[in-house]
Structure 1
Amino acid sequence: MGRRIKYESGTASNYISRAAAVKKLQISLKDFHRLCILKGIYPRDPVHKKKANKGSTQNKVFYHARDIQYLTSEPLINKFREYKTYMKKLIRAKNKRERNKATILQINKPDFKLDHLVRERYPTFSLALRDLDDCLNLLFAFALLPKSKVVKSTVIEDCRRLTAEFLHYVIEAQCLTKVFVSIKGTYFQAQIMGEKVTWLMGHQRSVGRVQDVDFATLANFVDFYTTALSFINFRLYKSIGLLYPPKLARSKNANSDDVEDELYSLAHELQGTAEDIAPVDVFAEMEDDGDIADKMKEMMKLKTLFKGCKFFLNREVPNDTLTLVIRNCGGMVSWDGCPGGKYSENFDGITHHVIDRPLTDSFTMNRIYIQPQWVLDCFNYRKILPVNKYVPGAHLPPHLSPFVLESSGDYIPPERMEMLRELGKEIPAQKENAPILKAKTKAKKSEKKDKVLIKEGKVFNANEQQLLHAAGHTKKLREMMIPKRYKNAYKKIQFGIKRKAKETRALEDKRRKREVVAAVEK
């Protein structure tokens, strides 16, 4: 056998440092980062870093050797080199004041597409839907940013257009399931072709210049996600028989002074193709005692929640959030200056007027004035709630998150318990009741009070404190019998249970104080 050379096989050959990868690909570090983001290749953390670093203890970033070998045949590398050559020629022409040559170079600017990357990273459509959460969160965030040197106006326009197209699909397909408004923005969840898609849409306000954020790196993600979302939107529109790209109505952005800075309106209905398929009643042949049937019936009830209702939104109300929820439930929406709106504020057929300020003397008697939270709570409760708690100027009830999944031992507010009861869901136990022995003794005492029992001799009354000590002693003995290799895991579990109980007690005390203050104020 030949002599085995050290650091030439195994971990040392399976991993390669970033500097060596850049040298192998013969591109700059900036282009290398961009290429890895577009191809979906990320650094690896080898188990034996010293072996991967060939005996050195220097801190380095490692990649898998097969990933770097996969990048060597990527055609984007040549496109990056062509663009670098183009920039050198353009700068030289501008410095020499050769305007004709510079104009010709700008016309023939090299461009590249990322369509093949989308097909490589998402071989099936279900994989693309699973990765849609990050895509939507990033594009919705960029849609609210102001123009800058890094974030160009074309990128912002593409983000706004693609996100508006996706929201129109959610409205037409009526697949929205959950909504919650927080300080960060509005959380949405939709059921799209069997996949749960969750995204965050920021509030409509002026963002300003954001600091301490590497927009150059995020822009590389945006380049890929805009291409991917255009493919996804096309497939989604085709699945429900809609034309793509759709004709979207635009509205002026009230938070900007730029004439070209426009937003896409969600109140405008899209036009479908001539091959539209009529909806099929999926419950005609389904039995009533099935979980899937109950969920689908709940969704069908949600689709017609606001059917026949016509809403008018005041200017201080978030248009996109409420329009998405109302139109998803079969209602109609309009506001002042609404492109494609079918009625104005003076229309007599308006049933609900959403306002987020104190009501003045100028109001119409034949419509209901409500605050925006009423729409969201009706959607989460899956029914029309009374409007007396949501009138303008009233103290609103708590806005509960439908994304929270309670477990046993958690603190559950009374409003959340009522919501779970109305939705027909199981309510987990908030606290462990008193010990079983204590409960049994109480039951015995109540039986003795209700019934007259005649027995000879003295009735033995068990000492409850002794029973508790005996139960604790038994628990300690069981803990002593736990094997040593499982004791650390057991201690962590017990620590988590105690921390959860402490948080629950703190929330209960906070609720109790709040109720006392409210009672004093009344």
Structure 2
Amino acid sequence: MRRPKKYEAGEATQYISRRAALRKLQLSLNDFRRLCILKGVYPREPKHRRRAQKGSSDIKILYHAKDIRFLLHEPIVWTLRDYKIFAKKSGRDRAIKDFRNLKRRLAMFPEIKLDHIVKERYPTFIDALKDLDDCLTLLFLFSTFPSLHLIPREQSNLCRRLTIEFLHYVIASKSLRKVFISIKGYYFQAEIKGQKVTWIVPHYYPFKPQSRQEVDFKVMSIFVEFYTIMLGFTNFRLYHGLNLAYPPQFPSNMLQDNADTLKDESSFVSDRITALNFELLRTDKVQEDEEEPDIDMELLEQDGDSKRIIKMKQEAQEVSRLRTLFKGLKFFINREVPREPLVIIIRSFGGKVSWDSSVFSGATYDESDETITHQIVDRPSLSTQYISRDYIQPQWIFDCVNQRQLLPTNKYFLGEPLPPHLSPFVDAKRDTYIPPEEKALHDPSLIETHAQSEDESEDDAAAEEEDTVEQELLDAQLQRAYQQETAEYKKYGGADGVNEDEEDSDEEDFDGEEQESDDDDEEELDEKEKRLLEEKQKMSVQSGKVHKVNKRQVHKAEVDEHRLQARMVKPRHRNLFRKLIREKQAKEKEEWLLRKKRRTIETDAKEAKKLAKREARKAAAAAAAAAAQLGAK
């Protein structure tokens, strides 16, 4: 048997460089990149780079050899080669001005079909739902883009239509669970077929052109090309699961791009929001609220794990209440408030929403409607207000959804400083820093202590000082009384009240035997007295002693313990141990920085309140002085 040569087996045969892959597939770099994105083939990092590169120490882009062999049998490769042939022949026809032949070739333009790739990458429908996060985030981003050199308007229009269809499904199925406002945009999380799907809807800003070096729109456009096909299949399956007609039929004036909407980006966005406030047609012609089936506790408790079943029952009840959170409520959105996320949230939980019809199209009722229960405003004050409705800030909608209940509106009135907007996507039992507001949500007993005003905190501090003074006086009095009791006890000879002189006179009359017995009795009495004295000292109130902690000794003990742990780690696990220590130090530093930031914010707020109080007192004193002068005159 022939002895294998070096690099004929092992990692050297498992990886292939990008240049070798291009020669094997006979494709250009752009076509190879496009093919890899569509098929889901990405570069790999080998465990031993020099072995994988056959002894070379250069940094190369490596792929699995089996992935490249997998690409050899892809039909899209022939379509990409047809593109190259089409470009050469159409360029020749254009050069010799053979327009008749050029028109014929343009009619036979090769098109890439990606349906089989979607079915290949996602064998089941649940697999597609699991990979829907990046798809939705990218398509929502492209739906806001104008027509660019590498992004045609048709692609952004398709992204807009597909995302609107998906949002309509979320509204119709009432599957929205969590929402959050961040600097990136609006985070949404829906539960579809038992899978949690999270995506971001970006804030609407006028598009700012960027240079090609910062963002490669061509690569992003290739991802969008695949994701549009994938989301189209997903929407088709989701709509038929709810007996909804697909594709959804919108009124003729919606999503119809003309010269006006293509020039004005605000009308382009307004048209999308108008489509979200429109009811979809059903194939069964029955408007029923889709409700989740109730859990049969008697049937499920036979499994034996009753705690888990009860927890599932509670979760199902919370979700059923959440699905109808805004049912029966009517909202009106002011013109300064962003409408798209609020329309999605309100309609997903059974509420009705409208806006000013003179500014935006798609309004269902006017501001003067007396049945409106809440008006969402994002300005300090309004000139005209109705008594029959609550005027709230937009954060109230998001906080109600995250806490799964209708919160009191007094903290969200016009001009009120809003409470912190907490993220629902973090773990409540994490080891890192947890804000006091989040602790108060999980422990209701902390709400009152945290929600104190500065005046109450100052009164509490003064009351605590008075209590400490009173406690010190009481301790001194009790100590004095205890000293008097012990002096009297020693003076009168114990609890029986017998005088020492009387005992001496009685002892002289006794005989020797009786005197010995008396001595034994005295010893027993002394032991009883000592025991009583010790018990009184234990029960007495004494001044406390301050226990000073030597921080240097504590730190030295921690360092010694850490060194002992490091010595006990095996040599092959030292890198892992160091990594864990670095992660622990990073978490501690992050927690310390967050606590420091919180202390800084609280001190600044206190200083601002004190300054405002001083200014108010000065203004009141000046007004009183002015009134006194006027009275004197």
Q: TM-score, normalised on structure 1?
A: 0.86
State the Cα distance separating 1:370 from its structure 2 match.
Answer: 2.2
Match of 1:98 in 2: 98
Structure of greater Rg: 2
Give the conservation status (yes or no) of the 8 Å contact 1:205–1:255.
no
Tell me how far apart the structure 2 counterparts of residues 76 and 12 of structure 1 sit (CA, whole Å).
28
Code of the residue aligned with 1:160 in structure 2: it is: R
Q: Is the contact made by 2:138 and 2:224 (CA closer than 8 Å) also made in structure 1?
A: yes
Q: CA, structure 1 residues 458+352, in 2 after alignment: closer, same or farther (shift >3 Å)?
A: closer
CA distance in 2, matches of 1:260, 1:395: 33
1:224 & 1:41 partners in 2: Cα distance?
A: 14
Residues 470/162 of structure 1: CA separation in 2 closer, same or farther (3 Å cut)? same
1:353 equivalent in alignment to 2:360: no
Contact 1:162 1:229 (C-alpha < 8 Å) held by counterparts: yes
Q: Report 1:333-348 matches (<5 A).
A: 333-337=353-357, 341-348=363-370
- Structure 1 counterpart of 2:547, one-letter code: E
Task: Give the conservation status (yes or no) of the 8 Å contact 1:411–1:508.
Answer: no
Asked if residue 455 in structure 1 is aligned to residue 543 in structure 2, the reply is no
Match of residue 225 from structure 1: 227
The whole-number CA distance in structure 2 between the counterparts of 1:456 and 1:38 is: 85
Q: Whose RCO is larger (CA < 8 A, sep 6+)?
A: 1
Q: Percent same amino acid among aligned pairs?
A: 40
Please give the residue correspondences for 1:53-202 in structure 2 after superposition, counting only pairs within 5 Å.
Answer: 53-202=53-202
C-alpha deviation, 1:280, in angstroms: 5.3
Which of 478, 484, 489 in structure 1 is aligned with 2:569?
484
* Matching of residue 257 in structure 1 with residue 340 in structure 2: no
Compute the displacement of 1:210 (Å): 2.8
Work out whether 1:293 is the aligned partner of 2:295. no
1:497 and 1:73 map into 2 onto residues whose CA distance is 48
CA distance in 1, matches of 2:17, 2:65: 9
Specify whether residues 501 and 334 from structure 1 end up closer, same or farther in structure 2 by C-alpha distance, changes over 3 A only: closer
2:279 to 269, 273, 279: 269
Q: 1:87 to 1:490 in 2, by over 3 A?
A: closer
- CA offsets, 1:201-229, max 9 Å, x none? 00122122133100111111111111111
CA contact (8 A) 1:409 1:501 kept: no
**1:273–1:518 Cα change, 3 Å:** farther
C-alpha distance 185-258 of structure 1, shift in aligned 2 (>3 A): closer
Contact residue 14 and residue 66 of structure 1 kept, 8 A = yes
1:244 corresponds in structure 2 to 246
Cα distance between partner residues in 2 of 1:215 and 1:423? 52
Tell me the distance in 2 between the aligned counterparts of 1:382 and 1:454: 61
Corresponding position of 1:308:
328
Q: Does 1:215 align with 2:217?
A: yes
Structure 2 CA distance, aligned partners of 1:340 and 1:5?
74
2:585 corresponds to: 495
1:380–1:498 CA distance, 2 compared to 1 (3 A): closer
Instruction: Give the 5 Å matches for 1:18-37.
Output: 18-37=18-37
Q: Contact 1:411 / 1:507 at 8 angstroms: preserved in 2?
A: no
The change in CA–CA distance for 1:490 and 1:142 in structure 2 (over 3 A counts) is closer
Instruction: Find out whether 1:366 has 2:388 as its counterpart.
Output: yes
Aligned residue in 2 for 1:430: none
Compute the displacement of 1:423 (Å): 13
Instruction: Please state how far the C-alpha of 1:516 moved relative to its aligned partner.
Output: 0.8
The answer for the alignment partner of 1:282 in structure 2 is 293
Task: State which drifts further: 336-345 or 157-166.
Answer: 336-345
Query: Taking structure 1 as reference, are residues 463 and 476 closer, same or farther at Cα in structure 2, changes over 3 Å only?
Result: farther
Can you list the C-alpha shifts for 1:161-214, whole angstroms capped at 9, x where unaligned?
111111111111111111111121111111111111111100122122133100
Range that drifts further, 261-270 or 31-40: 261-270
Q: Does the 8 Å CA contact 1:370/1:387 hold for their aligned counterparts? A: yes
CA offsets 1:415-440 (integer angstroms, 9 cap, x no match): 3233334699xxxxxxxxxxxxxxxx
Give the equivalent residue in structure 1 for 2:496: none
Instruction: Specify the alignment match of 1:329 in structure 2.
Output: 349
What is the distance in 2 between the residues matched to 1:235 and 1:314? 36
Distance 1:186 1:455, change over 3 A: same
User: What is the CA distance between 1:478 and its match in structure 2?
Assistant: 4.1
Change (3 A) 1:97 1:347: farther
What letter is aligned with 1:166? F
SS at structure 2 position matched to 1:455: helix
Which residue in the other structure is 1:519 paired with?
609
**Matched position secondary structure for 1:208:** coil
Which residue identity lines up with residue 49 of structure 1 in the other structure? R
Once the two structures are TM-superposed, the CA of residue 515 in structure 1 deviates from its matched residue by 3.4
Query: What's the counterpart of residue 419 of structure 2?
Result: 397
Corresponding residue of 1:509: 599
- CA deviations 1:289-332 (Å, max 9, x no partner) are 71111112111111221111111222322221001110111101
Distance (Å, rounded) in 2 between the aligned partners of 1:359 and 1:256:
34
Change (3 A) 1:42 1:489: closer
| Structure 2, unaligned runs of 5 or more | 299-305, 447-470, 483-531, 614-633
Shift of 1:55: 2.2
| Pair 1:386 & 2:388 matched | no
Structure 2: distance between partners of 1:490 and 1:257? 54
Partner of 2:398: 376
Deviation per CA, 1:441-485: give whole Å up to 9, x if none: xxxx99x97999962597798883479888767655544442133
2:101 is matched by which residue type in structure 1? Answer: K
Aligned equivalents of 1:367 and 1:504: distance in 2?
39
Letter of the 1:502 partner, please give it: W
Provide closer, same or farther for how the CA distance between residues 361 and 472 of structure 1 changes in structure 2, counting only shifts above 3 A: closer
Amino acid at match of 1:274: D
In the alignment, the residues of structure 1 paired with residue 77 and residue 330 of structure 2 have an alpha-carbon distance, to the nearest angstrom, of 55
More helix as a share of residues: 2
In 1, Cα distance between the equivalents of 2:440 and 2:362? 39
Distance 1:21 1:161, change over 3 A: same
Kept in 1: contact 2:295–2:313 (CA 8 A):
no
Once structures 1 and 2 are overlaid, which stretch shifts more, 30-39 or 271-280?
271-280
C-alpha contact 1:409 1:500 (8 A) present in aligned 2: no
Range with bigger deviation, 38-47 or 372-381: 372-381
How many residues align structurally? 502
Check the 8 A contact 1:381/1:422 in 2, yes or no: no
Give 1:283 deviation, angstroms: 3.5
Distance 1:167 1:423 in 2: 39
Contact 1:351/1:366, CA 8 A, preserved across alignment: yes
Distance 1:138 1:66, change over 3 A: same
SS of equivalent to 2:411: coil
Aligned-pair CA distance for 1:94? 2.8
Q: CA deviation at 1:137?
A: 1.0
Alpha-carbon distance in structure 2 between the residues aligned to 1:512 and 1:278: 46
- CA root-mean-square deviation: 3.4
Tell me the distance in 2 between the aligned counterparts of 1:345 and 1:310.
11
Look up the match of 2:547.
Answer: 464
The answer for the alignment partner of 1:442 in structure 2 is none
Q: Which residue of 1 aligns with 2:468?
A: none
- The whole-number CA distance in structure 1 between the counterparts of 2:398 and 2:289 is 29
Q: Which runs of 5 or more structure 1 residues have no equivalent in the other structure?
A: 425-444
Letter in 2 for 1:223: E
State how far apart, in whole Å, the 2-side matches of 1:160 and 1:111 are.
Answer: 22
Q: Counterpart amino acid of 1:484?
A: V
Partner of 1:412: 434
